[in-house]
Structures are given as C-alpha cells and as structure tokens.
Amino acid sequence: MSASSAGRSALRMGPAELVQAAAMARRFYLEGKSKIQIAEEFGVSRFKVARVLETALERDLVRIEIRVPAELDAERSDALRARYGLRHAVVVESPADADSADSADPENLGEVAADLLGELVTEGDVLGLAWGRSTIHMAAALDRLPPCTVVQLTGVYDAGTAERGSVEAVRRAAQVSGGDAHPIYAPMLLPDAATAAALRSQTGIARAFEYFDKVTVAAVSIGSWEAGISTVHDMLTKEEREHYASLGVAAEMSAHLFDAEGRRVGRDLGERCITVEADRLRRIPEVVAIAGGQRKAAAIDAVLRSGLVTSLVTDTAAADHLLTTRPMQRPALDRADPDGA
C-alpha cells in the first residue's frame, strides 16, 4: 500500500487537489488516521474526505497491493474455504519438483500449521493433538502458544518410539504454552476390543480421556488407505486391510475410516483403538486437519465431507484436486463459531 506519483488520469486534477488528495491518502492509508480526524485537520466534512480517497483510488493516485508470504496461496485458500464451508483454509506452495508434489512436505505444512495454531488458541483453551507426521512436525515448529492444557487424542504408532512421536509433541506444545501436558503412553491399535477397553481404564489414559470433552482446538492428520500414507493401514494385517478396503475405505483420520462420501465405515476398528471418538471430535469447536500432496487429495476430500473438520492446512497440489471435485451438498462446518459469531 503506497502513495505513488499520479498516473495520466490523475493529471486531470489540479495541483492543489493532487497535493490535498495525496496528503489525505497518506494520513488514511499510511498513518492510520480516521476520516473524521482527517476532516478536522483539513477543515472539510468527512464525506468530502471519503470522496477524495475514493477519487484517489479511481485515478491511480493511490495503489493498494495485497501481499502474503510467497509460500502461501491466498486465492486457492479462499476458494477452498468457500467450497467446503471451512472456517479457515491455508494453502502452501507444493515442492517445486513436480514429481515430489505427489507427497506433501510435512515440515512445511507443520510450520504453517504451527503459526495457525498460534492464532487460534487462546488462554485457557484445551489443545488436543492426534498422531500424525504433520502434527509432530507442527509441534516441533511451535514457538508461541497462550497458556493452555495440551492433551493427546490418540495412542502412538509404535510404543517404542513414543518419545519421538505423539508424546513428545504433546510435551513440546505444553512447554511452549506453559500449560499442563496429558500424554497417552499406549499403542493406537490393540489386538482386540477387550484389550483396548482395559487400557482405557488405566489411570493415566483415563485421565487424558477425561479431557476429551474439554478440548476446544484439535490438530489432526489425514491418511489415504494405502501403504506409507496411513498409519492405521500400515499397522493392520494384509487380511484386515483387504477387509476394510472392501467396505470402500477412502480415508483415515485418528483411526476413524471414511468412504469417498465422508461416511464412516469399519466402525469396529475404533473399538480396538486408543483414540478420541468421532462424536467427540464433532463437538470440538475447532478441528484443524493438516495434510497435503496429490496422493492424499481424495482422502482429504472424503474427510472434509464428513463434517468433522473445521479448518485445513494443505498444499497447492492437493488444493488443485479439491477445487475440481464435485461440490459439497452441505457445508462441512456445522458447529457454532468459537468466538460466538
């Protein structure tokens, strides 16, 4: 936003008008003064000030530029937000190498998601973090958070790597915020429902579960139903993977499975998992999904159609696919605004 020399059309204004318009524009756009303040300074009505400012724009005396950091795509972000009825959508540039666009850059997505959480979380909130490579990178990139409680929403992929995964992410976020941490020292997937139920009743895990209904902001990851890009897919046996594939699974989020229309399928899997229930996720005012890459685009679409997600951090490779899919039949966002709007 800058006051520049007048263009050819602005020469139609007299020199006194040009000087006055430039001065008013400088006061309004660069110094942040109100139209009433400018009117008092120049001894004119605020309506005159409004007309002068409008004329300055029309005649190119003032040029307004909207700039966002190069890695953010504002146009795609706004289009994606509108298409899926999201509260927030942030699209980052995919890797320059076209071949690498198939897979997202989790570090880059995590850094942008960390900045978004810094905006969304307020003092006294309860922040929930689910397992996922992107959420782990997000936690590592956090450098500001208001005082809040941080709770783990899912068990870990591998109990032997807990310190380098979800548990460490929860501790890191709590350290940045100065709040309490409630990690879950348990695998995400158990052999059967009885074992999972027994673990949920253990003191430490039960304490974390007690916070699920208090979570106000959550960060989750999305996986496609294929090897390497779905944690749950990789934890199952070949027979189990084929069984759920036969049900039409297109996406996985926090051990919940969805078909291409966003309907939950294979609900029995959740009984074997240490994870936040889908109904509880739906009640969380702000659920931010972090996922990108062409390979995950269809899965992201499926999860967005479920209505469980309110905001999305993704990349241009996934966004281009999402913006060409069939429109939503209803907005995904069906919660009240956390700010009461």
**Cα dihedral value 161, 165, 166, 169, nearest 10:** 140
Give me 143's structure tokens.
């450098």
Q: Given a cut of 70, is residue 329 above it in pLDDT?
A: no
Eight-state DSSP code of residue 335: S
53-62, 108-117, 293-302, 322-331: least confidently modelled range: 322-331
For residue 286, what are the β-bridge partners?
217
Inform me whether the pLDDT recorded for 63 exceeds 90. no
* Residue 1 or residue 131, greater confidence: 131
> CB neighbours of 222 closer than 8 A, spacing ≥ 6?
132, 251, 252, 253, 289, 290, 291, 296, 299, 300, 303
* Of 230, 284, 283, 237, residue with least CA distance to 257: 230
CA dist., res. 218 & res. 130, Å (int): 8
φ/ψ (deg, to 5) at 297: -60, -45
Q: Which tens digits make up the pLDDT trace of 163-177?
A: 457 789 999 999 999
- CA quadruple 93, 101, 188, 247: dihedral sign: positive
Per-residue pLDDT band at 21 (split at 50, 70, 90) = confident
**Rama region for 60: left / alpha / beta (φ>0; ψ in -120 to 50; rest):** left
25-61 residue pLDDT tens: 889 988 889 999 999 988 999 999 999 999 888 888 8
d(CA 43, CA 222): 59
pTM: 0.76
Overall average pLDDT of the 305-331 stretch: 88
Which of 179, 176, 172 has the alpha carbon at shortest distance from 148?
A: 179
Per residue in 182-191, pLDDT (tens digit) is: 999 888 999 9
pLDDT band at residue 6 using 50, 70 and 90 as cut-offs: very low
Mean of the per-residue pLDDT values for the chain? 85
Banded pLDDT at 214 (limits 50, 70, 90): very high
DSSP assignment string, 273-301: B-B--HHHHHHSSEEEEE--SGGGHHHHH
pLDDT at residue 330 greater than cutoff 70? no
- Determine how many CB atoms are found less than 10 A away from the CB of residue 155: 27
Burial class (CB in 10 A: 0-12, 13-18, 19+), 289: buried
Looking at residue 69, its pLDDT comes to: 60
Q: Give the whole-number percent of the chain exceeding pLDDT 90.
A: 57
- The least confident of 19-23, 132-136, 328-332 is 328-332
Residue 315 tokens read as: 């990349």
pLDDT score recorded for residue 228 = 75
Task: Please determine, for residue 149, whether its predicted confidence score (pLDDT) is greater than 90.
Answer: yes
**For the chain, what percent of residues have pLDDT higher than 70?**
85
Look at residue 336 in the predicted model and tell me its pLDDT: 52
Q: What is the pLDDT of residue 159?
A: 46
CB 89 within 8 A of CB 311: yes
Instruction: Report which of residues 301 and 134 the model is more confident about.
Output: 301
Cβ distance 275 to 235 under 8 Å? Answer: no
